[in-house]
Amino acid sequence: MIDELARADRAVAAGADTAVWALADHDLIAALDASHRLAQRLAAAQLALVRELDGRGVAVAQGASSTAVWLRARLRLDVAAARRLVALAASVDVAPPGVREALADGAISVEQARVIADTVATVSAVAGGEVADKAVGVLVEWAGQFDPTLLRRMGTRILDHVAPDLADAADAAALAAEAARAARDRHVTVAEQTGGRLRLSGVLDAEAAALLRAAIDPLSAPAGPDDTRCAGQRRHDALADVCRLALRTGELPEHGGDPAQVVVTTSYDGLARQLDAGVLDIGPHLTPESVRRLACDAAILPAVLGGAGQVLDVGRQRRLISGPLRRALVLRDGGCTFPGCDRPPRWCAAHHIRHWVDGGPTSLDNVVLLCGHHHRHVHQSDWAVRLGGDGHPEFVPPAWLDPEQLPRRNHYHRRT
């Protein structure tokens, strides 16, 4: 398989050098169709590989918390795309043979394959395997004409074509299947952008969507005739208002041993100048105006840093849960320190480099932040943890994974 893929790679590379501007219109269209068909065939091969890797637990054996997290680092995908790839692989794996064959032949896309697999599963539950096989043939034929969205819509009436007498029962099953898909597909993704901004995306089920609309719609109305914000900007500001209201209640659960709070870091010089620009504990930089505005709504924990980000002193609040050591640890590590993990500090626990039961001290130079998965993994595996020359954590992999045992670091939480 590797040899065949290498040959395909060379063939595609050779074709990529073609001057497409010189092709006639019909040749451009034919080349587009051929490239799309090849892309679907390659996608089918990739999904089969992902499914096998996931089934064997290769990612977890190499220290990742899931196959999606491992794929993100291995293929340099964003985590949403990696999760989608794993989900598609699982969906295609349980699809009827006719669906897998159509995908391997390049006759349908991976998204169409998922739609067909979901639809056929519903048909099979209601009408049995024989009717489901008929439905596969019809849906694959329709896939030659319709995109995945329209194909799913038409699939809700598939029994009208292959088993009209069972259509009513199928409607009830389709509703149940839609509810199951909504539960499966629900997610919210928060991705850091340049300048400290966040991109928020996701899919809400009907109940969560109703709650969100009920919360932000009253706050999204124009403030008056002079309000120049567009609808999207008003919804953004409404969501921020909802978060402020939630923080003020004091009823949010603790994270990592600390109450829900905003932590802002500033340099000693900035502190001496009465709060210059600051850095949130989750990474983004704030302008002095933003820091002062936050100070009106939330408690600010001052943390004074020396050269190279060394923690010199950490402020205290009255409701001190775990003390300044943890806050210093969060400021240094920024989140789980295991290579490739992006879990935030509030999901993490402090791990003693030299175990406490072995006499290791509870001090900043003997602890690192690890999420629950990687905390267990480090205790149960041959990974070694240490602080590098600059005082930041690094991990030495076991010899079976990397014979040279080159130290690795997590770059997801770097502040500079």
d(CA 195, CA 346): 22
Distance, first Cα to last Cα, the chain: 42
Q: Evaluate if residue 223 carries a pLDDT over 70.
A: yes
Q: What are the tens digits of pLDDT across the range 349-403?
A: 888 888 766 777 777 888 899 888 888 888 888 899 999 988 899 999 999 999 9
Contact 121, 176 (CB under 8 A): no
E-only strand ranges, 104-224: 187-192, 198-203
Pull the structure tokens for residue 141.
């034929």
What mean pLDDT is predicted for residues 340-345? 84
pLDDT for 97 equals 79
Contact 303, 313 (CB under 8 A): yes
pLDDT for 271 equals 44
pTM over 0.85: no
Q: Which has the closest alpha carbon to 337: 287, 257, 266, 391?
A: 391
DSSP annotation string for 273-333: TTS-SEEETTS-EE-HHHHHHHHHHS-B--EEE-GGG-EEEE---SS-SSHHHHHHHHHHH
d(CA 343, CA 336): 6
Q: What are the tens digits of pLDDT across the range 87-124?
A: 888 877 777 778 888 888 878 888 888 888 888 887 77
